[in-house]
Structure 1
Amino acid sequence: MNETENLSERAIDLQELLASQQTLLLSTASSSCVPDLSYAPFVRDQAGCFYIFVSELAGHTANLLNNPQASVMFIRPESETRNLFARERAVFNCSVKELDCDEPTYAAQLMALQDKFGEVVSVLRSLSDFHLFALCPESGRYVAGFGRAYTINVEDGTLSPFAKKQG
């Protein structure tokens, strides 16, 4: 198998990992730069942005409103992993945008969330403290195991070997 075929197969593995997940791990920072790790159910659009609908009661919501950047991670469950030191995972650094309820994307993504997660979304929509955010990847890294780390081209989903930065 040549390098191109291998990268194509790994890109398929990455898409399968993302498709197998219903929630994302969410890393945000408070206004005083304290890191906060949480999770949220999500849907993804054709452009590759992730949409989450979260409450003001959660610390990550204030963090996203005050600092519109986040990292998200998708990771293979422990029960499906041979070696816990080499779990398959993808991490994306994202710009964050809150969607206003009058934007066309707002209704479409809330409907996508409701289609995926059921009536609980219609209940959450009735609560005034929920916000819809688009988390749009700016860069990404995919680790398929030991010695198999790749940079994700967030425009087209292709992979290239990850090169550690010198310095």
Structure 2
Amino acid sequence: METLPLQSVFKDFEKFIQSFKTVILGTLSATVEAEASYAPVLQKNGKFYIYVSELAKHTHNLLENKQLTLLFIQDEQDADNIFARKRATLKSEARHLARDAEGWSELMDAYGEHLGETAKNLRNLQDFHLFELTPIKATFVRGFAQAYHLDGEQLNQVRHMNDRGHGQSKLTEDKKAS
């Protein structure tokens, strides 16, 4: 895998996701209904942390189904072209961290420092839950013809997705082959 020339992609990916204080969540309910929502987020040591209320559907979804997708996407107003907004999609796995779990207090300290006074005030609310979100793989789109897969333990193995070019449908070819 050609990683050296693509290290700039990885660095751009890291810088991009670190610029966010919220993340869009894609979760599934116990009855496999898709739910899109968002939550304030802390990124620390290659993982993401959200502290969410039981009033939100995504909290129940994450307690039932640990698979989720994280989406970081450029604001429309900042995009040169809305068809090519910069975005990172991370397939991830959630782990609920109980209040008595090792490191919970330190993570909540960091969460409050990163996200401010409201985050600090929510800390003692018993209907809120801390989740650790571990990325498994990602896609990163920097613009037209700049789409990449990121894999590996730190998502630092980068490969270009465009092996075909626009205008050619892989779906059509797959149907012909079957």
* Partner of residue 57, structure 1: 55
CA distance in 1, matches of 2:154, 2:135: 11
- Per-residue deviation at 1:163? 6.2
CA distance in 1, matches of 2:44, 2:24: 18
Q: Is the 8 A contact 1:114 1:121 kept in 2?
A: yes
Secondary structure in 2 matching 1:82: coil
- Per-residue deviation at 1:148? 1.1
Structure 1 stretches lacking a partner, 5+ long = none
User: Which string of whole-angstrom CA distances, capped at 9 and with x for unpartnered residues, describes residues 127-160 of structure 1?
Assistant: 1100000110111111111111111124233211
CA distance in 2, matches of 1:33, 1:118: 34
CA distance in 1, matches of 2:141, 2:159: 11
Aligned length: 164
User: Which string of whole-angstrom CA distances, capped at 9 and with x for unpartnered residues, describes residues 28-56 of structure 1?
Assistant: 0111111100000111121x111000000
Structure 2 stretches lacking a partner, 5+ long = 164-169
CA change 1:123–1:145 in 2 (3 A) is: same
Letter in 2 for 1:22: K
Q: Is the 8 A contact 2:41 2:48 kept in 1?
A: yes
- Per-residue deviation at 1:85? 0.4
Matching of residues 88-107 of structure 1 within 5 Å:
88-107=86-105
| TM-score with structure 2 setting the length | 0.85
* Partner of residue 8, structure 1: 7
* Partner of residue 155, structure 2: 157
CA distance in 2, matches of 1:144, 1:92: 15
Secondary structure in 2 matching 1:50: strand
CA distance in 1, matches of 2:77, 2:125: 36
User: Which string of whole-angstrom CA distances, capped at 9 and with x for unpartnered residues, describes residues 42-71 of structure 1?
Assistant: 11121x111000000001000000111110
Structure possessing the higher radius of gyration over alpha carbons: 2
CA distance in 2, matches of 1:16, 1:61: 28
Secondary structure in 2 matching 1:142: strand
CA distance in 2, matches of 1:87, 1:80: 9
CA distance in 2, matches of 1:163, 1:97: 33
| TM-score with structure 1 setting the length | 0.90
* Partner of residue 134, structure 2: 136
- Per-residue deviation at 1:162? 2.1
Q: Percent identity?
A: 35
Q: Is the 8 A contact 1:140 1:154 kept in 2?
A: no
Find runs of 4+ consecutive structure 1 residues off by over 6 angstroms. 163-166
